[in-house]
A = this chain, B = another copy of it.
Amino acid sequence: MDQNPPRSTSVTVADVARKAGVSKATAARVLGGYGTVSDPVRDAVTAAARALDYRPNELARSMTTGRSGTIGVVVGDIENPFFSLAMRGITDVARQAGFTVILINSGEDVAVEKAAIRTLLAKRVDGLIVSPAKESNVDHLQEAARSGRPLALLDRGSETLDVDTVIADDRHAAEGITRRLIALGHRRIAYITACDTPDHVFRVPSDVNTGSVRRRVEGFLGVCREAGLQGMEGWVRVGAITPDHTRGIVSAMLQSSERPTAIIASDSVIGLEVFKTSRAAGIAIPDELSLVSFHDADWTSVTSPPVTVVRQPVYRLGETAAKLLVERLNGYEASARRVVLQTELIERASVADAPA
């Protein structure tokens, strides 16, 4: 059975053909499942392939066909539950459609993102799913789109880029929670995001390059303005890129004389740190401080008090992006589609009337 110990050098169609006593072309037809072959020959080749333990070389196949059966995915940080859940959606769809997924973390760094896309293009991925770190800097994406390989944007869009895009209705969600907080009497409302600006200070929404977050900030500021609150730009805090940064920002705010009565956290990692920091500072949620977080992370329901969150359809975000991409890969040609998925405000107990 196993007379010949597996050699390091792999067996090729030519080897199988020789063993089966047919030409390379015929063996390839059987092995590749194309063209017409007679039954006896098919059997002979199949038997030879089995005997030799033939394994097709996808690389060689990809080279001639031009399709690698691979999708490249670039996200900010797979460690963030937001991205890992979206990634699950992507991989599920990809696997079902017969694609494998190459994952690259950008760390929200445009230079890394750029290099990642170059690498993926060089590896001849069939398509790309990217969650661009900065909307303003999308030349490399433009280039990818032009290279003929379909591109889908995840969670963050770009007006200048005419490609399939899947985002959540961030602006609407931000407007909703801001209205709610204002109705409860809050006036000093902070919005904390990981997105950063060169000098770590926020002035206008266009400072924020991450599409999803910019839309939220616009929604937040818009509602504030409507309600007659001026100068709320000062309450937008950027640069909460690590738990340590977040803690620094939050404790500074909580110690100031004009401390916020409500905080909106732009993702669950920040929300968690706000929760920890305010508890450590002895500030009671929701009596002294209301907290709303984006992303319905699974722990948010189990804290005391459980935290009010904006539920985003994270899995479906990834799933949908992958679906759109796979459709393109299967030849769909029409113009770019922009899918906006609904969010939902889950009211729990971390929001209350503003303290007197």
Q: Which residues of A contact B (CB under 8 A)?
A: 6, 8, 55-60, 62-63, 68-70, 77-79, 81, 83-85, 87-88, 91-92, 95, 100-105, 119-124, 146-148, 269, 272, 275-276, 279, 297-299, 301-304
Which B residues lie within 8 Å of A84 (CB)?
78-79, 81, 83-84, 87
What's the number of copies of this chain in the assembled complex? 2
Query: Shortest CB–CB separation between residue A277 and chain B, in angstroms?
Result: 11
CB atoms of B55 and A59 under 8 A apart:
no
Q: Which residue of chain B has its CB nearest to the CB of A101?
A: B103
Q: Which residue of chain B has its CB nearest to the CB of A298?
A: B272
CB atoms of A95 and B105 under 8 A apart:
yes
Q: Which residue of chain B has its CB nearest to the CB of A315?
A: B79
In the complex, A297 Cα to B276 Cα: how many Å? 14
Instruction: Knowing that A57-B124, A276-B302 touch, tell me 10 more A-B residue pairs with CB under 8 angstroms.
Output: A6-B146, A55-B122, A56-B122, A58-B122, A81-B84, A84-B84, A91-B103, A101-B104, A272-B299, A302-B303
Contact partner, A101, options B77, B102, B272, B298, Cβ 8 Å: B102
Which B residues lie within 8 Å of A77 (CB)?
88
In the complex, A170 Cα to B148 Cα: how many Å? 49
CB atoms of B124 and A59 under 8 A apart:
yes
In the complex, A124 Cα to B68 Cα: how many Å? 12
Given contacts A59-B63, A87-B78, A103-B103, contact A299 B301 (CB under 8 A): no
CB atoms of A78 and B81 under 8 A apart:
no
Which B residues lie within 8 Å of A58 (CB)?
119, 122-124
Q: Which residue of chain B has its CB nearest to the CB of A83?
A: B84
Q: Which residue of chain B has its CB nearest to the CB of A8?
A: B148
Given contacts A102-B102, A122-B57, A146-B6, contact A79 B85 (CB under 8 A): yes
5 smallest A-B Cβ distances: which pairs? A299-B299, A304-B304, A84-B84, A79-B88, A58-B122
Q: Which residue of chain B has its CB nearest to the CB of A57?
A: B124
CB atoms of A6 and B87 under 8 A apart:
no
Which B residues lie within 8 Å of A121 (CB)?
55
Which B residues lie within 8 Å of A95 (CB)?
104-105
Q: Which residue of chain B has its CB nearest to the CB of A115?
A: B95
CB atoms of A59 and B62 under 8 A apart:
yes
CB atoms of A88 and B63 under 8 A apart:
no
CB atoms of B123 and A100 under 8 A apart:
yes
